[in-house]
Amino acid sequence: MDLGLGGRGFLLTGASRGLGFATARALVDDGARVLLSARSADAVDAAAASLGGAPAATGLAADLSDARAAEELVGAAVDRLGRVDGALLSVGGPTPGGVLDVPEEAWRAGVDSVLLGPLRVLRALVPHLSDGAAIGLVLSTSVRQPIGSLAISNGLRPGLAMTAKALADELGPRGIRVFGLLPGTIATDRVTEVEAASGDPAAMRARTEAGIPLRRVGRPEEFGRVAAFALSPAASYLTGTMLTVDGGMTRAL
């Protein structure tokens, strides 16, 4: 299938590695140009170089917890890409812990990173989007069912998913699509770190895979291909929805 991505430009946040980088790889492989963003300048430059460098891929360090970063990032996307046909916004994980255990300051920090960070980018980005553009938010399966010891994520990500749904209504008349992606357990560096910290990574992996109908964790490129399709003109009638990419692990509809 031709996804129709040739010559199109996309902004991706949190994209120096993991799911964002896998999506960037899929986009570039299909002829798109990308601007990658992450907190580390070295990491984002290395990621862009591994995708072939300019003009296919460039990078810019940005910390979206800084209220000024969104305008600077979007301005760079417009300058470097010429046209912005879409964006993939990865929302970082807030402090873990139970509902009663996590301090109020962590909840406030979570609101800033999970809700306000992406909202600032969206507000800066939308005026520059081409008609027919697409916006994807990388969320979590906590949108559909709670995850143990991730109270802040369980509380805030469903709200961001509903915000995306409302934004799809607002931007629909321009043909701009908005959707969410809900990854399950994908074999990223972060998952490897968590498994290593458990003291018995093989046992933890086995327990995880036993709860997944496909009996394996996902590969980043599997997520990246789904995200690239959803951002592409080939998915032109897909909006206002949440796409679960989890090997069947989520038990909710």
d(CA 62, CA 115): 17
CA distances from 75 to 15, 83, 92, 114, 130 (A): 18, 11, 22, 22, 15
Per-residue pLDDT of 192-222, as tens digits, reads 887 887 899 999 999 999 999 999 999 999 9
- What residues does each domain of the chain span? 9-245
Give the Cα separation of 121 and 193 in Å (integer).
29
**Contacting residues for 9 by C-beta, under 8 A, at least 6 apart:** 32, 33, 34, 35, 77, 81, 82, 83, 84, 85
What are the tens digits of pLDDT across the range 67-124? 899 999 999 999 999 999 999 999 778 888 999 999 999 999 999 989 999 999 999 9
Is the domain 9-245 a CATH 3.40.50.720 member? yes
Q: What is the mean pLDDT of residues 28-33?
A: 98
- DSSP H helix total and E strand total for the chain: 9, 7
Backbone angles phi and psi of 177, in degrees to 5: -100, 145
Q: How far is CA 64 from CA 2, 113, 185, 216, in A?
A: 33, 7, 24, 33
Phi-psi region of 4 (alpha: psi -120 to 50; beta: other; left: phi over 0): left
CA atoms of 102 and 97, how far apart (whole Å)? 5
Residue 214 CB neighbours (<10 A)? 12
What is the predicted pLDDT for the residue at 192? 87
pLDDT band for position 65 (50/70/90)? confident
